[in-house]
Chains A and B, each alone.
Chain A
Amino acid sequence: MPFLGKSLVAKTVALVWSLLSLAVTARMVCCFNPDVITPQFGFDYWWIYPMGIKFKAGVDGISLLMVLLTNFLVPVIILATFKHTYKNAAAFYALILFMQSGMLVVFTALDAFLFYVGWEAALIPIYFICALWGGENRIRVNLKFFIYTMAGSLLMLIAIIYLAMQTPGKMYDIDAIYALDLDPQTQGWIFWAFFVAFAIKMPVFPFHTWQPDTYSSAPTAGTMLLSGIMLKMGVYGVIRWLIPVAPLGFAHWGQTAIVLSIIGIVYASLIAFTQKNSKRLIAYSSIAHVGLISAGIFAWNVQGLQGAMIQMLSHGINVIGLFFVCDIILDRLNTDKLEDLGGIAKNAPKFAIAFFVVLMGSVALPGTNGFIGEFLLLMGVYQYNLYAGIIAGLTIIFGAVYMLRMFQKMMLGVSNERTLVFKDISGSEYAVFVLIGILVIGIGVYPKPLMHLSEAAITNLVNVVNTKIQVVRF
């Protein structure tokens, strides 16, 4: 398990280090047996014995996909920063790797305390990345972001401690917490305490107000980390902790959560229409996409969850591609206002093609990764409720409209004096887009191996929770 240390020498060491962890992950994927539902490659030691806290981690199909996502995207993000020179680069890359290890802890933890520590350990580096290397307003915006997420996670901490106090040996072990059988009202409280923490992270309407500001003021690598990986911590938390831990709370409040998610989809899409700044537009589109993921999860059936897993991977890949496009434009032209752009495609055909591929993935064109995920998600929501499915389906249409509008304003039309001298992509930029492009189309055409990885774990989880809910109902 690649729990990483710090890198002292800058970019290259960071890249090599993250590639190493990717290699370890690749080996894990090869050795992984997808048909076993219990966590694999696990370890289990006492951490703080008197308090019942263990250092227990392991991966099942769900975790493995998230680990894969993290360890694939971090090298890509580091590669995407290669043309920048950050002041104090060693600290910058060390923070990225530190954050990566925090996120890996979150995705693999099988102990609630460890999960919480990883959750916070990922937050501190991203705060410093965004606040030290960010753009204007970074101090105010990031303090808001930090306090927002901290408030949510402290509520979760109360819930975690409360749950552990109810277990027989006062244990934080996930199995002990799963085995609890609390009354529905308590589970309702637990549900909300967890839900707020995860909803802030994802973010789900109405907890999203920190997100557009933070995304647009952060340095691009920070935005990529936040949108590509970190928001998946919230989604993963819902699957691994929220619903299995409080199934009755979920049975009672799940509908509210779906409604909030769907409101978020429509609301964010509508705001995305009016954005004049490409980074903010992508930020809102990300809220819409995550709203769909969360709706698919709260529908709680195998299709929805499978869709959520695939869509998490796809969204991570696509959104990093999109932000990279913004970053390249911002870097060369010093603007990210849509009205200042236009006609870039003429001077930079390769760049335009790369952008177009990513865009297609993002608007879920059949044959791309976005389609698989959104299709499964919509199927899941549709099974839950027809009207919810229809409204959630609007996200595809809306997405196509504002994304294509963005593409048109940026790449097509008449060049102005700024865009006339636009240099096409080269070197590391090229490599990043090729990697992303392969995945966009690869997952779109042949998603089966990935889906197979998580299938057994998801089916099991769905059945376990549904049994718990049914036992109470009948």
Chain B
Amino acid sequence: MNALITISVLAVLVLYLGLYKANKALLPVTLLGLAVALFFTINHWNVFTGPTFNDMMSYDNFAVAFSGITITSTMLILLLSKGYFEKISDHVAEYYSIILFSLAGILVMVSYHNMTMLFIGIEIMSVSLYILAGIRKQDFASNEAALKYFLMGAFSTGFLLFGVALIYGAAHSFDLEAIKMHLETNLQTGQAISPLFYTGVVLMAVGMAFKVGAAPFHFWTPDVYEGSPSLITAFMSTVVKTAGFAAFLRLFATCFYPLHDFWMPVILVITIITLFAGNITALYQNNFKRMLAWSSISHAGYMLFAIVSLGSEASYGVFVYAIAYSAASIIAFAGLVLMQANTGSDSFDSFNGLGRKNPFLAFTLTVAMLSLAGIPLTAGFIGKFIMFSNALSSMHTWLVVLAVINAVISIFYYFRVIVAMYFKDAERAELEIPLNFKVVLAISVVATILIGIWPAFLPNVI
């Protein structure tokens, strides 16, 4: 709770800093505030006694772990933003504060214990993101991204809210525990569960699939990701996606768990379509940013594995996968931002010959691509490994075989970057890498390799 208050107050404080033209202080103050919030979050580890605030919020280890990842990722992304927002807009303080508001929404999303809090969290996050996507007011693509995101987002919120309402009609409560109890008692006593409830579950699944960009509700993702400023895209594809999955998992793996025979086939189909749609389309992209957008859809597919397999390790799986994916994506987006700033292009060809001129950047990008492709000794492999073993232990062998086919497909497009960097020569100037980029790249690479070699140091969420 302290973390949430800190971040909300911080957002307002940052706005005032902007008002008094203290632009230099924005980044340090934000980072300091986030560090304090992170400290408060970690302090909550293992002190969970039960839901608080009239059972509205539940700060269990699950919430702490995911708050930890999202706050840390946000800090890394903001660290990259030094000098970035000044270039694309005059209203720098608004950036910081909107991102912070969005993060506040995310903290609610990962720790809700009541459907209303889920809705409020998602809305705080989404409304902030609509603004962030369109913050380059003069830019056509940015406007398109914002409008598209807003329309699609509004739709999905509608689905979600309708689902919540129907479930309330059937179970007479918004409380997760009460809804679960309702299901369990009805199943035990053999009473029929109202059809409203089933409809509600499906509608909520659709709404959540929209939010995490799972197929066939993913069509907004590539355009929004491409149109938004790159760092905002980084924020959306790492922090927001992680939070979406945390919320999704909490809802389905705990609250709707007794009904899993009903919704499992739905999620299974969504997973398979997501994997194939993301991967096969990513194969045909010539633009690095668009490739990342499509690959993020396929990663959503892998993360859905946790919801499909539901074992005791499910949240651990999403936890590790989210860290691995966030670290690798932050590296990829950092590389993208540098590339755009220096060459103005984000096609694969602009990476040609990078290996000779910028060995460090090329190395970090290579590690990131290997991790995204799930090659051993990187965090991405451990994430995939946990997902696969969960799915196999709940006997979804064919799902894993399909996932493996996708993992092989993904090697094609991830390796295009590596091939361009090392094996294709081009006349190019050395990119200048600012210190803050070096720090973020180094932290992410170390995290990726460390988790790849010794994943046991991550705390077990359950």
Query: Across the interface, do B408 and A161 meet the contact criterion of CB distance under 8 Å?
Result: no
Q: A121 contacts B377, CB within 8 Å?
A: yes
Chain B positions within 8 Å of A121 at CB level: 376-377
Shortest CB distance B178–A (Å):
32
Chain B residues within an 8 Å CB radius of A400: none
The 8 A CB mask of A334-371 against B (1 = contact, 0 = none) is 00000000000000000000000000000000000000
With A139-B419, A139-B423, A143-B415: A48-B389 Cβ-Cβ less than 8 Å: no
Q: Please, which residues of chain B bring their CB within 8 A of the CB of A73?
A: none
User: Do B376 and A165 have beta carbons less than 8 Å apart?
Assistant: no
Instruction: From known contacts A143-B415, A151-B408, infer whether A165 and B460 are also in contact, taking CB-CB under 8 Å.
Output: no
Q: How far is the CA of A187 from the CA of B146 in the complex (A)?
A: 54
Find the residue from B389, B411, B419 having the highest chain A CB count within 10 A. B389
B404 touches A158 (CB 8 A): yes
> Out of A124, A132, A165, which one reaches B375, CB within 8 Å?
A124
Also in contact, A162 and B415, with CB within 8 A (given A48-B455, A51-B386, A121-B377): no
What separation, in Å, do the CA atoms of A47 and B385 have in the docked complex? 15
| Given A150-B408, A161-B389, A131 contacting B422 (CB threshold 8 A) | yes
- Distance in angstroms from A148 CB to nearest chain B CB is 9
Given contacts A120-B376, A121-B376, contact A162 B460 (CB under 8 A): no
A236 to B392 alpha-carbon distance, docked (Å): 26
Query: Number of residues in B with C-beta < 8 Å to the partner?
Result: 30
CB-based contact A132/B412 at 8 Å: no
Q: Which B residues between 391 and 433 are near A, CB-CB below 8 angstroms?
A: 392-393, 397, 400-401, 404, 407-408, 411-412, 415, 419, 422-424
Complex Cα gap A120–B375 (Å): 7
Whether, in the assembled complex, A155 has its beta carbon less than 8 Å from a beta carbon of chain B, the answer is: yes
For B408, give its contact among A120, A154, A158 (CB under 8 Å): A154
Chain A residue with minimal CB distance to B394?
A: A165
Q: Smallest CB-CB separation from B391: which chain A residue?
A: A161
In the bound complex, what is the Cα–Cα distance between A154 and B386 (angstroms)?
14
Is A10 an interface position by the 8 A CB rule? no
Of residues 128 to 184 in A, which have CB atoms within 8 Å of B's CB atoms? 128, 131-132, 138-139, 143, 146-147, 150-151, 154-155, 157-158, 161-162, 164-165, 170
Q: How far is the CA of A227 from the CA of B69 in the complex (A)?
A: 45
Q: Does A117 contact B (CB under 8 A)?
A: yes
Contact between chains at B412 and A47 (CB < 8 Å):
no
A50: interface (CB < 8 Å)? yes
Chain B positions within 8 Å of A120 at CB level:
375-377, 381
| Interface size class of chain A, counting residues whose CB lies under 8 Å from the partner chain | 20 to 34
Cβ-defined contact, B456 with A161, below 8 A: no
Q: Check: A116 CB closer than 8 A to any chain B CB.
A: yes
Q: Which of B381, B389, B400, B407 contacts A51 (CB 8 A)?
A: B389
Answer whether residue A474 sits at the interface, using C-beta atoms and an 8 A cutoff: no
Known contacts A158-B388, A165-B389: A116-B408 contact under CB 8 Å: no
Report yes or no: A116 in contact with B376, Cβ–Cβ below 8 A. Answer: yes
Query: Is B337 located at the chain interface by the 8 A CB criterion?
Result: no
Q: Is A387 an interface residue (CB 8 A)?
A: no
Q: Is B392's CB under 8 angstroms from A162's CB?
A: yes
A321–B422 Cα distance when bound, in Å, is: 30
Q: Please, which residues of chain B bring their CB within 8 A of the CB of A143?
A: 412, 415, 419
Q: In the docked arrangement, what's the CA distance between A124 and B377, Å?
A: 10
Contacts of B392 in A (CB 8 A): 158, 161-162, 165
B residues in contact with A46, CB < 8 Å:
456
- Residues A48 and B393 in contact in the complex (CB < 8 Å), given A124-B375, A147-B408, A150-B411: no
Give the nearest-CB partner of B374 in chain A.
A154
Tell me, yes or no, whether B370 is within 8 Å of chain A by CB: yes
| CA–CA, A204 and B386, complex, Å | 31
B450 to chain A, nearest CB (A): 13
B456 adjacent to A50 (CB under 8 Å)? yes
For A146, the chain B residues whose CB sits under 8 A away are: 411, 415
In the bound assembly, the distance between CA atoms of A128 and B421 in angstroms comes to 12
A51: which B residues are within 8 A, CB to CB? 386, 389
Q: State which of A117, A128, A154, A155 has its C-beta within 8 Å of the C-beta of B377.
A: A117
Contact partners of A155 in chain B: CB under 8 A: 404
* Of the residues A47, A124, A138, contact of B423 by C-beta under 8 Å: A138
CA distance A128 to B415 in the complex (A): 11
Query: In the assembled complex, which residues on chain A have CB atoms less than 8 Å from the CB atom of B316?
Result: 50
**Contact residues, B297-338 vs A (CB, 8 A):** 313, 316
Bound-state CA distance A49–B455 (Å) is: 10
A48–B455 CA distance with the chains assembled, in angstroms:
7
The minimal Cβ–Cβ distance linking B411 to chain A, given in whole angstroms, is 6
CA distance A147 to B400 in the complex (A): 18
Bound-state Cα–Cα, A84 to B344, Å: 40
B150 to chain A, nearest CB (A): 40
- When distances are taken between beta carbons in the complex, the residues of chain B under 8 Å from A162 are 392, 397
Closest beta carbon of chain A to B199's beta carbon, Å: 35
The winner among A131, A161, A164, A165 for most chain B CB atoms within 10 A is A161
The CA-CA distance from A139 to B423 in the complex, in Å, is 7
User: In the complex the two chains form, is A47's CB within 8 Å of B419's CB?
Assistant: no
B404 and A157 form a contact (CB under 8 A): yes
Q: Which of A50, A147, A150, A164 makes the CB contact (< 8 A) with B460? A: A50
Contact present for B377 and A131 (CB under 8 Å) = no
In the assembled complex, the Cα of A143 lies from the Cα of B456 at a distance in Å of 32
Given contacts A51-B389, A154-B407, contact A147 B377 (CB under 8 A): no
Q: Say how far A131's CB is from chain B's closest CB, in angstroms.
A: 6
Q: Taking CB as reference atom, which chain A residue is nearest B373?
A: A150
How far is B388's CA from A154's CA once the two chains are assembled, in angstroms?
A: 11
Bound form: Cα–Cα A325–B102 in Å: 65
Contact across chains for B386 and A117 when beta carbons are under 8 A apart: no
Closest to A193 in B: B401
Assess whether A164 is in contact with B423, with CB atoms less than 8 Å apart: no
Query: Shortest Cβ distance from A68 into chain B, in angstroms?
Result: 25
| Cβ contacts A43-60/B at 8 Å (1 or 0 each) | 000111111000000000
Contact of A47 among B389, B404, B456 (CB under 8 A): B456
Nearest chain B residue, comparing its CB with the CB of A47: B456
* Bound-complex Cα distance A336 to B422 (A): 27
Tell me which residues across on chain A come within 8 A of B404, comparing CB atoms.
Answer: 151, 154-155, 157-158
Which residue on chain B has the smallest CB distance to residue A165? B393
Contacts A150-B411, A154-B408, A158-B388 known; A170 to B375 CB distance under 8 Å? no
| Chain B residues within 8 Å of A50, by CB | 313, 316, 456, 460
CA of A138 to CA of B389, assembled, Å:
35
Near A by CB (< 8 A), chain B positions 419-462 give 419, 422-424, 454-456, 460
Interface flags for B353-393 (1: CB within 8 Å of A; 0: not) read 00000000000000000100001110001000110110011
Do residues A48 and B419 form an inter-chain contact, with CB atoms below 8 A? no
Q: Look across to chain B and name the residue whose beta carbon is closest to the beta carbon of A152.
A: B408
Instruction: Chain B residues near A49: list those with CB within 8 A.
Output: 456
Docked-complex contact B397 and A147, CB < 8 angstroms: no
Question: Chain B's nearest CB lies how many Å from the CB of A172?
Answer: 10
- The answer to whether A158 touches B397, judged by C-beta atoms less than 8 angstroms apart, is yes
How many angstroms between the C-alpha atoms of A121 and B370 in the bound complex? 12
A143 to B454, CA, bound (A): 29
Give the residue of B381, B400, B460 whose beta carbon is less than 8 angstroms from that of A158.
Answer: B400
Complex Cα distance, B455 from A50, in Å, reads 10
- For A158, list chain B residues within 8 Å (CB): 388, 392, 397, 400-401, 404
> Which of A138, A155, A162 has the most chain B CB atoms inside 10 A of its CB?
A162
Binding site for B on A (CB under 8 A): 46-51, 116-117, 120-121, 124, 128, 131-132, 138-139, 143, 146-147, 150-151, 154-155, 157-158, 161-162, 164-165, 170
Q: A132-B423, A161-B388, A165-B392 are in contact. List 14 more A-B contacts (CB 8 A).
A: A47-B456, A48-B456, A50-B316, A51-B386, A117-B376, A124-B377, A132-B422, A143-B415, A147-B408, A147-B411, A151-B408, A158-B400, A158-B404, A162-B397
Question: What are 21 A-to-B residue pairs whose CB atoms are below 8 Å?
Answer: A48-B455, A49-B456, A50-B313, A50-B460, A51-B386, A116-B376, A124-B370, A124-B377, A131-B419, A138-B423, A139-B423, A143-B415, A146-B415, A147-B412, A151-B408, A154-B408, A157-B385, A158-B397, A161-B388, A161-B392, A165-B393
For the complex of A and B, the 5 pairs showing the least CB-CB separation, nearest first, are A120-B376, A154-B404, A117-B376, A165-B393, A151-B408
